Amino acid sequence: MAKVVLKQVTKEFNGQQVVKGLDLVIPDGSFTVLVGPSGCGKSTTLRMIAGLEQATGGEILIGEQPVNDLPPGKRDVAMVFQNYALYPTMSVYDNISYGLRNRGYSKKECQVLVEEIAEVVGLAPYLKRKPSQLSGGQRQRVALARAMVKKPQVFLMDEPLSNLDAKLRNQMRVELTSLHKQLGSTFIYVTHDQVEAMTMGDQIVVMNEGQIMQVAAPMDLYQEPDNLFVAQFIGSPA
């Protein structure tokens, strides 16, 4: 079953089209990776799904519901940003629970949820700290926990590991993959890194210059690239 569908989605900035009529089906429960060179329109596409950018044309559906006119808070998605976007003066606990405040949860319910999620992402010992007292990996986990606590059906992640060093990045790749299995929700993950795409995704969407070049499972993409761009970008044997 499809979780997110894009139909002829376009985006213009200042009269210039940067997303050029995307047609895409993202299966429920998939780990879909949008990959492509810098500037090809990955973030813009993700932001349109999140509702942080309005599509210029076309239609976006989430769980079969047209969402073009829905604000981000009504879309049942949660986004994890590259720069974490944490509140520096708030504790880890408050950063995680922030999104729950206006959802009508009691203080106790918030606490149960936050502690449960903190356990899953390994933050339980750090709930009283400020972001400045955490390592990069721990900050990334806070950003993740803040998305998880909303229990969205769709997670949107824009290069969430790009600020981490290579070792931690590898570790977090493994953790995110197993988190995806555990949650069973749909992940849409943006990266410019082919290796990251191929190791994490079960459906890879290769983009270039605002268009989709191919959608396939990693092995199919590698063994049967549709065109030269995909072959060269993925590094398939010629």
- Asked if 15 interacts with ligand ADP (CB under 6 A), we say no
Selected from 30, 32, 43, 153, the binder of ligand ADP by CB under 6 A is: 43
Q: How far is the CB of 197 from ligand ADP (least distance, A)?
A: 13
C-beta of residue 90 within 8 angstroms of C-beta of residue 130: yes
Note whether 13 binds ligand ADP by CB under 6 A: yes
- The piece of 41-49, 72-80, 112-120, 146-154 that touches ligand ADP (CB under 6 A) is 41-49
Among the listed ranges 22-30, 40-48, 107-115, 218-226, the one in contact with ligand ADP (CB under 6 A) is: 40-48
CA atoms of 127 and 88, how far apart (whole Å) = 14
Does position 12 interact with ligand ADP (CB under 6 A)? The reply is no
Does 18 participate in binding ligand ADP (rule CB under 6 A)? Answer: yes
38 binds ligand ADP (CB under 6 A): yes
- Contacts of Mg ion in 22-61 (CB under 5 A): 43
